[in-house]
Amino acid sequence: MPPLAGRSAADIVRLMAAFRGGTQPATVMDRIAKGFSEAETEAIAAWYAGQK
């Protein structure tokens, strides 16, 4: 898997939305993504984007 650290927050939010909507192929991430609200997803994405 490509690392999440340093990816743009917008990219991570887009992927999580695609997992939730079923358009991104997944084994587990479709189910994991559904557990987070929009605000939580944005907070998580901002945190990963800030990592080196």
Residues that bind ligand HEM (CB under 6 A): 1-2, 4, 12, 15-16, 26-29, 32, 44
The nearer residue to ligand HEM, 16 or 20, going by C-beta atoms, is: 16
Nearest-approach distance from CB 45 to ligand HEM, in angstroms? 7
26 Cβ neighbours under 8 A, 6+ residues apart: 19, 33
Nearest-approach distance from CB 5 to ligand HEM, in angstroms? 11
The angle at the Cα of 37, spanning 21 to 18, to the nearest 5 degrees, equals 20
